[in-house]
Amino acid sequence: MRSSVILFAVVLTACGGGASNTPPPEGSVVDSLTTSDSLIHPEEKHFRSLKQLTFGGDNAEAYWSFSGERLVFQSNNPAWGEDCDQIYVFNPFSDDLRQGAPTKLSINGGRTTCSYFLPGDSLVLFGSTHEGGHSCPAVPERRADGKYVWPIYPSFDIYVSDLKGAIRQQLTDTPGYDAEATVSPKGDRIVFTSMRDGDMELYTMALDGSDVKRITSTLGYDGGAFFSPDGSKLLWRASRPTTEEEVEEYKALLKEGLVKPTDMELYVANADGTDPRRITELGNANWAPYWHPSGTKILFASNHKSKRGFPFTLFLINTDGTGLEQVSHGDTFDAFPVFSPDGKHLVFSSNRNNGGTRETNLFLAEWQD
226-259: pLDDT as tens digits: 999 999 999 999 999 999 999 999 999 999 999 9
Helix (H), strand (E), coil (C) string for 85-109 = CEEEEECCCCCCHHHCCCEECCCCC
Q: How confident is the model at residue 143 (pLDDT cuts 50, 70, 90)?
A: confident
Percent of the chain with pLDDT strictly greater than 70? 90
User: Cα–Cα distance between 235 and 214 in angstroms, integer?
Assistant: 15
pLDDT at 33 exceeding the cut of 70? no
Supply the pTM of this predicted model.
0.90
Give residue 28's pLDDT.
Answer: 34
Domain of residue 126, CATH code: 2.120.10.30
294-312: pLDDT as tens digits: 999 999 999 998 876 678 9
Mean pLDDT, range 59-69, rounded to an integer: 98
Give the count of domains, the chain: 1
186-221: pLDDT as tens digits: 999 999 999 999 999 999 999 999 999 999 999 999
- Domain of residue 278 covers 2-367
Q: How confident is the model at residue 27 (pLDDT cuts 50, 70, 90)?
A: very low
> Distance of CA 140 to CAs 144, 152, 236, 256, 289, Å?
12, 10, 25, 10, 26
115-137: pLDDT as tens digits: 999 999 999 999 999 999 999 99
